[in-house]
Amino acid sequence: MTADNTRLQVLWDRLLAVVEEQGQILIRAAFSPIVRECGDISAGFFDAEGRMLAQAVTGTPGHVNTMAMAVKSLRARFPAQDMRSGDIYVTNDPWIASGHLNDFLLMMPVIHAGRLVGFTSCTSHLVDLGGQGMGPEGTDIQDEGLLIPPCKLVAAGDVNALLLDIVKANSREPIANEGDIYALIACCEAGAARICQTMDEFGITDFRDLSRYIVETSRRGTIDIIKELPKGTWNNAMTVDGYDRPLTLRAALTIAEDHVLVDFAGTDPCARKGINVPLNYATAYTVFALRCVIGPDIPNNDGSLEPFQVTGPPGCILNARPPSPVAMRHTLGQMTPDLVFGCLAQALPD
């Protein structure tokens, strides 16, 4: 390892420490037991292009891996030239954030010396967003509560009081929701402050070199492992109870020279009730399963996630489209690892 690479590795370790501190701040400040006691969160740092460079160890796959996709989506939606220091963006759109309305995702631009250098982000589960609540009884997303499209929660340090009032007015637990939202804000702000301190300490003006190092090192390491695996396609299926009828989930896992593809073709169509799974959430748990076996020692970031691809026919229960009800998306979404492990057991029997 060269002196330059050693310095980059030290910086990488610092980022990992920063995001872990973010996660602990979120847990400590939150009002809801599901955050304080269960750690139903994610926290991370992203480069100026929206690529995840570091994530907190504390968190769930359904939050961490969806966050990696969500920040790219928000980064593309809002022009960088319009972002100011102290801005924070928010959404709970299930198809952008984390698969159902209860999960709020925040993204904060990190501005250092007047330049956009990256983003902090975090997700946590809010107790109640109105509607029919956390259950499968809704017949569309409108039944399930308040959907907030991507927008500013904080503008140059000033909290959007009207948006906060709307969230509270549509909740059975307004105080808990307000407290959890401020905990999310604190998580983003603390991360941004630590990132700026790190830049001053190390005398850097951007994260381009570090971003390139993290992404390429992780991507190359993952692909090197994939190259050693047997090549081919393996299939698995499982039938579960469903809501009012049995449901069959199917997966075809293909290991190629430089990537792994999981395709849910043949999976049953969406249910009438809220057990449907947006593809971002199905992808999060599918990739989690793959990474448990393929390169588990490589840190989770944009580079290590890139070689894994997940597809499914629109309208199947693992690729539900709006306005499908999705409140209990975890009921089936968290079965995708079993589906994937069944494929991997054939590909890698030893």
pLDDT in tens, 137-178: 999 999 999 999 999 999 999 999 999 999 999 999 999 999
Is residue 80 a part of any domain in this protein? yes
Q: Which domain holds residue 264?
A: 228-347
- Count of Cβ atoms closer than 10 Å to residue 309 Cβ: 16
Is residue 22 a part of any domain in this protein? yes
What is the share, in percent, of the chain residues with pLDDT greater than 70?
99
Q: Looking at residue 3, what is its pLDDT?
A: 57
Do 279 and 153 lie in a common domain? no
Do 201 and 244 lie in a common domain? no
Residues of the chain with pLDDT under 50: 1
**Whole-Å CA distances, 61 to 56, 111, 123, 282:** 11, 28, 11, 10
Do 12 and 148 lie in a common domain? yes
Q: Are 39 and 27 in contact (CB under 8 A)?
A: yes
- Determine the angle formed by the axes of helices 61-77 and 279-293, rounding to 10 degrees: 130
Is residue 76 a part of any domain in this protein? yes
Q: Is 82 exposed, middle or buried (0-12, 13-18, 19+ CB in 10 A)?
A: exposed
- The sign one gets for the Cα dihedral 32, 325, 121, 42 is positive
Count the domains in the chain.
Answer: 2
- For 96, half-sphere exposure in the C-beta direction (CA atoms, 13 angstrom radius) is 21
Q: How far apart are CA 349 and CA 163, in angstroms?
A: 52
Is residue 221 a part of any domain in this protein? no
β-sheet with 260-263: strand ranges across: 232-240, 247-255, 260-263, 308-311
Do 314 and 203 lie in a common domain? no
Is residue 220 a part of any domain in this protein? no
Which of 183, 214, 245 terminates a domain? The answer is: 214
- What average pLDDT does the chain have? 97
pTM of the model: 0.96
Q: How far apart are CA 189 and CA 87, in angstroms?
A: 10
Do 203 and 157 lie in a common domain? yes
Do 193 and 253 lie in a common domain? no
Is residue 98 a part of any domain in this protein? yes
Which of 214, 246, 270 terminates a domain? The answer is: 214
Do 242 and 202 lie in a common domain? no
Q: Looking at residue 1, what is its pLDDT?
A: 47
